[in-house]
Amino acid sequence: MAVRPAPSAPASSATTQPGPASQPRQEVTPIPPTRGSADAVAIAERILPSTVTITVTVGSQGELGSGFVLDHRGRIMTNNHVVADAAHGGSIMVSFSDGHRSRAEILGRSPSYDLAVIQVADHRDLHPADLGDSDATKVGEAAIAIGSPLGLGGTVTEGIVSAVNRPVAVGDSNSTSGQAYLNAIQTDAPINHGNSGGPLVNGAGEVIGVNSAILTGSSGQQESGNIGIGFAIPINQAQQIGELLVRDGHATYPVINATVTGNGSDTGVRLATVTPGGAADRAGLRTDDVVTAVDGHPVRETEDLIVAIRNHRPGDVVTLEFERNGNSHSAEVRLRSKRG
């Protein structure tokens, strides 16, 4: 997407002269110190012992990712895509900042949220990370990413929170796992391959997100690394899903029992099919209805609708605004549950 300069203000024919020095000035209030500042050294010392490198080996092939310690029982959070291959006969090795290593196994994983919790066998002297409140995260505040980009364990990078509530689809829709949909925290803290699953930390040294994806450029056949746009799963959601993974070994996510597609006009999402007897059908929605908002929040693309629904839990009731034959309607939909 091209970025264009802002247009100039219209020129005026009048000549503006500076006023006399004694002219009263409008009082200017200084901006107070913001949450954008952070002591990166202190934060690194605090969170590095909680951050791990994860190596997944399948046959002669290996993959690297990151994670962070949840508790003294040896539970570690990471991305599903980091450990997914280990669910099919691979092995997991976790390396800690002090150099010791431990085998691990998957407690539970969710392709739909791209989250997993693993359990290390040796859980002596662990340092659980302090978890923050991602709902309180503000654009512009400090953000520090910690992990193992390109296998370089214990790497610390600093930036800011560039955006919150950014709908993002991650992964290949044609893969067996399908795509994960994130209501992401966007950051310009440099994140590269291998950072996946590691913590995104605020200025207080609290984890506010799970680093999960980057937007990359490409040149010919070669894909570039970080270009200043990374995405993290908000920790409030990750913690909720993590508890399900520990308890049940899997997670559920909410659905309206319909397939959706863009309508080509950036003004809503068309229901391509509606499952008979499903949540949307029972609420009175029909095939070809165009959903324009969820709980008052505009829907322009399919990711907007899916992420807005997945911000809830099965059993919640949401209000969908939609158009049918040129007329506007609304319906209350009680969300159903699907495993994934």
pLDDT at 128 over 90: yes
Most confident of the following: 13-27, 28-42, 261-275: 261-275
CATH superfamily of 252-339: PDZ domain (2.30.42.10)
Q: What is the pLDDT of residue 89?
A: 86
98 a catalytic residue: no
* pLDDT tens digits along 94-122: 999 999 999 999 999 999 999 999 999 98
Mean pLDDT of the chain: 87
* pLDDT tens digits along 57-78: 998 888 899 999 999 999 999 9
Q: CA-to-CA distance for 171 and 180, rounded, in angstroms? A: 6
* Same fold? 36-171+178-250, 252-339: no
Q: One of 110, 162, 196, 212 is an active-site residue; which one? A: 196
Q: Which CATH number fits domain 36-171+178-250: 3.40.50.920, 2.40.10.120, 3.10.105.10, 3.30.465.10?
A: 2.40.10.120
Q: What is the pLDDT of residue 63?
A: 87
Q: One of 50, 66, 81, 289 is an active-site residue; which one? A: 81
Q: CA-to-CA distance for 187 and 200, rounded, in angstroms? A: 9
Q: What is the pLDDT of residue 267?
A: 82
Indicate the pLDDT class of residue 16, thresholds 50, 70 and 90: very low
Per-domain residue ranges for the chain?
36-171+178-250, 252-339
Tokens 């003004």 locate to 267
114 a catalytic residue: yes
Q: What is the pLDDT of residue 36?
A: 55
Q: One of 66, 110, 114, 212 is an active-site residue; which one? A: 114
Type of residue at 104: A
219 a catalytic residue: no
